[in-house]
Amino acid sequence: MELPIEIEVPGGPRLEARLAESPTPTGGLVLCHPHPLYGGDMDNPVIVRAAEVAQSLGLTTLRFNFRGVGASGGVHGGGIAEEDDVQAALGRARTVLSVDAPLGLLGYSFGAWVSARVAAKPPGLALPLCLVAPPLGMLDWTGVRTGAARATPLLIVAGTRDQYCPLPDLEGFMAGLPGARRAIIEGADHFFFGKLYPMGLEVERWLREWAGGGSAALSGEPGGRSRAG
């Protein structure tokens, strides 16, 4: 069950959030929503679906609204100020987990960009990272690849019809990420209309890599294409 909470960003605003604590968590997951200026918020279907998958595996989840979204204070910071929001959310999630419990980060679209930027910040976060539909053709990813390379494990999920994450751009981005796994969802656009199920399956596979829960019979092979409808 998700409960409404607030996250206090040091030197910044309070953020509206939803926390679902597992009684015996296998780990934790912070989820970052798409672009605030284009209607993105923590209730986005992709974010909600990923949170549900994580909760079903016994993870504690924390999804939140970036500054200036919903009941969160502050104003949109172009992605730079939002890095502080992600750091604060990770810190808040850590307070409800045991010291040895793994904590992962999942971002969708704009949320993927900000999450990758946080991972790239010195000294870098060697945490599990999932980038869903990273907008490689829309935002500046300069310098982000080195940070993403630290993530263990790293999953990138994209659709074959995603105009903001063209497959050629994705191939180029992943060239410097030898340890990353990609999951290509056949027929999915940037919004995963009608494709939330296969997207969720790939997120589940990634979660099981680092948070346990046994092995799943999931569609698609590592580095391949998922064709589930």
The structure's pTM equals 0.92
Q: How far apart are CA 198 and CA 13, in angstroms?
A: 36
pLDDT tens digits for range 155-181? 999 999 999 999 999 999 998 888 899
Domains detected in the chain:
2-226 (3.40.50.1820)
CA 131 to chain centre: 5
pLDDT tens digits for range 43-99: 999 999 999 999 999 999 999 999 999 999 999 999 999 999 999 999 999 999 999
Question: What whole-number distance in Å separates Cα of residue 119 and Cα of residue 87?
Answer: 10
Q: What's the 3-state SS for 175-229?
A: CCCCCCEEEEECCCCCCCCCCHHHHHHHHHHHHHHHHCCCCCCCCCCCCCEECCC
CA angle 15-18-24, nearest 5°? 130
Identity at 220, one-letter amino acid code: G
- Write out pLDDT tens, residues 17-49: 999 999 989 999 999 999 999 999 999 999 999
User: Residue 191: pLDDT above 60?
Assistant: yes
Helix then strand then coil, % of the chain, to nearest 5: 30, 20, 50
